[in-house]
Amino acid sequence: MKQKRVLSGVQPTGALHLGNWLGAIKNWVDLQHQHDTFFCVVDLHAITVPQDVKTLSENTLSTAAMYIACGIDPKKSSIFIQSHISAHCELCWILNCLTPINWMERMIQFKEKALKQGDNVSIGLFDYPVLMAADILLYQPDLVPVGEDQKQHLELARNIAQQRINSRFGKDKENLLKIPDALIMKQGAKVMSLNDGRNKMSKSDPNANSRITLLDPPDLILKKIKKAKTDQFIGLEFNNPDRPEADNLLNIYSILSNKSKEASYEECKEMGWGMFKPLLAELVIDSLKPIQSQYKELMDDKEGLGNIIKSGNEKANEISSLTLQKIKDAIGLINKL
Ligand code: TYM
């Protein structure tokens, strides 16, 4: 049977955090054993908001290294950099010309991010979901593993592919583009901020104590968890709408300890915060230890990392250029003479 293809990506906008890992990358690691997997560092998405030049290039390499440190095996998966594959921008332009503005005006993440940018909102930020659609559709994937917050963007990509490309340009009901499915984890799809269990953990939160990054040293992890918002109740529990922090931290505990939700609840239902927090901190520290030491080794061998990316880029280029040519032909852009 033909392997299903999987494509996903993370923006290199800062150290990856527990949400990126538990909501997306952890899922990628499992998928790579049975699927044809492509993981992109989406640097062109990062520049939709202002970035420091040096930090962006460092973050791009370190995000690729972090994929591998989290368990992405370069022998099984292609790891590549978005800006190295020009087909992303080319298809984005074509899709721009086919996507109605009012579809874009509904994008919740744009509205949230635009608010933070004040007067400095770029066209790129508005267009971000179309670039994401291009990222995805170029690889004709079956599955796109992402966190809950990307659901709307995935829906847009599906609508563009179906309504604007396949149904308009596909001859004899031919599907020019595959309609991919979002793959969202049952647990971990929305890891919440440590400061406020009603907001998601985010790289752009100005308060660094709101997130645990995958590179935080043990003492900092302990400090952040000790400072995390709590409530006046004793005992951890899931799904109590008045206790989002308890739900979030118990969820993290359950995922990292590989214990079911029921078992985690049984274990922690009578624990006070003073007992639970050090237990959680130790678990997070132990879970991140192997990732951090592998990350360090990878970053100490930039040449090796560069070779991994080069070979990922080659594979990405092969597949994406075929799709791009197919779409160009279908819409009437003539081939080079
Ligand atoms: P980004 O860089 O914001 O996040 C990368 C992945 O992490 C997930 N995620 C979370 N999951 C659970 N809890 C959280 N608190 C949390 N925060 C982030 C995101 O859902 C995502 O899966 N637009 C994308 C990047 C992108 C992309 C793509 C993804 C560009 N092109 C093509 C898939 C396919 C983004 O900004 O992710």
Is there a single domain that holds both residue 103 and residue 137?
A: yes
- In tens, the pLDDT along 249-292 reads 999 999 999 999 999 999 999 999 999 999 999 999 999 999 99
161 within domain boundaries: yes
Q: For residue 117, what pLDDT band results from cuts at 50, 70 and 90?
A: confident
Is 75 among the catalytic positions? no
pTM attached to this predicted model: 0.96
Task: Give the per-residue pLDDT at 1.
Answer: 67
Is 326 among the catalytic positions? no
Is 289 among the catalytic positions? no
The CATH number that applies at residue 257 is 1.10.240.10
277 neighbors 225 (Cβ within 8 angstroms): yes
Short-list 139, 127, 141, CA closest to 97: 127
Rounded alpha-carbon distances, angstroms, from residue 26 to 209, 233, 294: 23, 31, 16
Mean pLDDT confidence for 227-244: 96
Segments forming the whole domain that contains residue 278 = 216-297
Is there a single domain that holds both residue 245 and residue 156?
A: no
Is there a single domain that holds both residue 264 and residue 248?
A: yes
Is there a single domain that holds both residue 126 and residue 39?
A: yes
What number does the ligand 1 atom closest to the CA of 191 have?
13
Is there a single domain that holds both residue 86 and residue 222?
A: no
Contacts of 52 (CB under 8 A, 6+ apart): none
Other C-beta atoms closer than 10 Å to the C-beta of 99 total: 20
Is there a single domain that holds both residue 237 and residue 306?
A: no
Short-list 187, 185, 183, 184, CA closest to 257: 187
- In tens, the pLDDT along 298-335 reads 999 999 999 999 999 999 999 999 999 999 999 999 98
Rounded alpha-carbon distances, angstroms, from residue 226 to 46, 142, 220, 221, 317: 31, 41, 10, 8, 46
Q: How far is the CA of 273 from the centre of ligand 1 (A)?
A: 30
> Token pair for residue 320?
């994406």
Is there a single domain that holds both residue 159 and residue 224?
A: no
Taking every pair of Cα atoms in the chain, the longest distance, rounded to a whole number of angstroms, is 74
Task: Give the per-residue pLDDT at 2.
Answer: 74
Is there a single domain that holds both residue 129 and residue 230?
A: no
Task: Give the per-residue pLDDT at 227.
Answer: 97
121 within domain boundaries: yes
210 within domain boundaries: no
- In tens, the pLDDT along 43-59 reads 999 999 999 999 999 99
Task: Enter the DSSP assignment of 79.
Answer: E
Is there a single domain that holds both residue 167 and residue 238?
A: no
Active-site entry in 4, 113, 178, 229: 113
Is there a single domain that holds both residue 179 and residue 112?
A: yes
68 within domain boundaries: yes
211 within domain boundaries: no
**CA 208 to CA 22: how far, in whole Å?**
18
Ligand 1 pocket residue status of 24, Cβ below 6 Å: yes
Please count the structural domains in the chain.
2
**CA 331 to CA 91: how far, in whole Å?**
12
Contacts of 234 (CB under 8 A, 6+ apart): 270, 271, 272
Task: Give the per-residue pLDDT at 120.
Answer: 86
Is there a single domain that holds both residue 79 and residue 99?
A: yes
